Structure formats: structure tokens, C-alpha cells
Amino acid sequence: MRFRVDLPLPFDRRRRADIVFTRVGLYVFLDGCFWHGCPEHFVTPKTRREFWVAKIEGNRARDRDTDRCLREAGLAVLRIWEHTLPSDAARLVADLYAELSGGGATGSHGR
């Protein structure tokens, strides 16, 4: 499973994917709970609340736009929260990679 890290996206060179498996067109994003507004762990800061709410909502909107653009280009997107256990994240990636490469899935994935 060859991969590239911190790769610019094909439609916007300013946006980057954390891990890309170019052979199967799989773009993996490791989303931080604070910066991407994790529904389980995000806590709005007590100071400058309006600023932070707007910032995080902007990040989430950009994430949705990124996902949409990649999928419209026929590419697969996998977003993994930072709190995900590394073994679980590896399994998600391996399962989706196998599915995309025609090897069949070995379990469920979080597309």
C-alpha cells in the first residue's frame, strides 16, 4: 500500500490531504477534534466565542466542500477523527483500500 503524505488536492493546491493512496484514488484526512468540530469532543472556548464558532464552522464547510469535489472527481474520501485508535484507523484504511482495489472489504468502513 504505497501512499503519499501532505499532498495538495487536484482541484485546489492550497488544500492538502494528510494521506493519499494514488493507485486507488483514496484521500484520507485525519481531523483534529478541536479544529474540525468533533461532535463528541469539541468544546467551544469561553473567550472569543463568536470568532471560534465561525472559525470551526468555516473549517467544517471547507471539509464538506473538499469531500464533494473529490467525490465528484471519482475519488474516495475517508475522514478519521484524531481520537480514533490507531489500530481502528488502520483497519478503516485497509478495508477501504481493499474495496477500491477490487480485493473486497474485510469489514465495515467509515466513508
Within a domain: 70: yes
Within a domain: 64: yes
Give the count of domains, the chain.
1
- What is the chain's mean pLDDT, rounded? 93
Q: What digits encode the pLDDT tens for the residues 16-70? A: 999 999 999 999 999 999 999 999 999 999 999 999 999 999 999 999 999 999 9
Within a domain: 86: yes
Domain extent for 74: 4-27+42-100
* Max intra-chain CA distance, the chain: 50
Residue type, 30: L
Residue type, 94: A
CATH of the domain at 47: 3.40.960.10
- Residue 9, helix vs strand vs coil: strand
**Whole-angstrom Cα distance, residue 37 to residue 95?**
26
Q: What are phi and psi of 5, to 5 degrees?
A: -115, 150
Entry field: residues in the chain? 111
The predicted model gives 66-81 an average pLDDT of: 98
Bridge partners, residue 26, by sequence: 21, 76
Bridge partners, residue 17, by sequence: 7
Within a domain: 36: no
Residue 111 pLDDT > 80, yes or no?
A: no
**Whole-angstrom Cα distance, residue 75 to residue 109?**
16
**Whole-angstrom Cα distance, residue 71 to residue 100?**
13
Confidence grade of residue 104 (pLDDT, cut at 50, 70, 90): low
